[in-house]
Amino acid sequence: MSTHVTRSPVPPLDDLVERLRTIWDSACFTNDGPLVQEFEQILRERLEVPLGFATANGTLALQLAFSGLELSGEVITTPLSFVATSSSLQWMGLTPVFADVDAETWTLDPESCRERITPRTSAILATHIYGLPCDVDGLGAVAREHDLALVFDASHTFGCRYRGRPLASYGDVSTLSFHATKPFHTAEGGFVCATADGVAHRARIQRNFGFDGLDSLQVPGINAKLSELHAALGLCLLPGVERGIEARRARFESYRAALAPAGERARLARIPDDLDYNYAYCPVLLESEEAVRRAWMALLDLDVYARRYFDPPLNRLPWTSAQRTPVAEDLCPRLLCLPIFEELPDREPERIASALLRSLDGGGVAPPSAGTSGA
Ligand SMILES: *Cc1c(COP(=O)(O)O)cnc(C)c1O
Segments of the chain scoring below 70 in pLDDT: 362-375
Note the pLDDT of residue 364: 44
pLDDT for the residue 363: 47
Evaluate whether 334 touches 283 at the Cβ level (below 8 Å).
no
Whether 126 and 85 have beta carbons less than 8 Å apart is answered as: no
* C-beta separation of 157 from 176 below 8 A: yes
Q: Is the CB of 241 under 6 A from ligand 1?
A: no
Would the CB of 59 count as within 6 Å of ligand 1? Answer: yes
Beta bridge partners of 126: 152
Average pLDDT over the chain, rounded to whole?
95
Ligand 1 midpoint to CA 139 (Å)? 21
Q: What pLDDT, in 10s, does the model give residues 168-202?
A: 999 999 999 999 999 899 999 999 999 999 999 99
**Predicted local confidence at residue 373, as pLDDT:** 43
Q: Is the CB of 55 under 6 A from ligand 1?
A: no
Q: Is any ligand 1 atom within 6 A of the Cβ of residue 122?
A: no
What pLDDT was estimated at residue 375? 41
Q: Which residue, judged by its Cα, is nearest atom 7 of ligand 1? A: 58
* 175 in Cβ contact with 191 (< 8 Å): yes
Distance (Å) from CA 130 to ligand 1 centroid:
11
Q: Could you read off the pLDDT of 32-63 as tens digits, one per residue?
A: 999 999 999 999 999 999 999 999 999 999 99
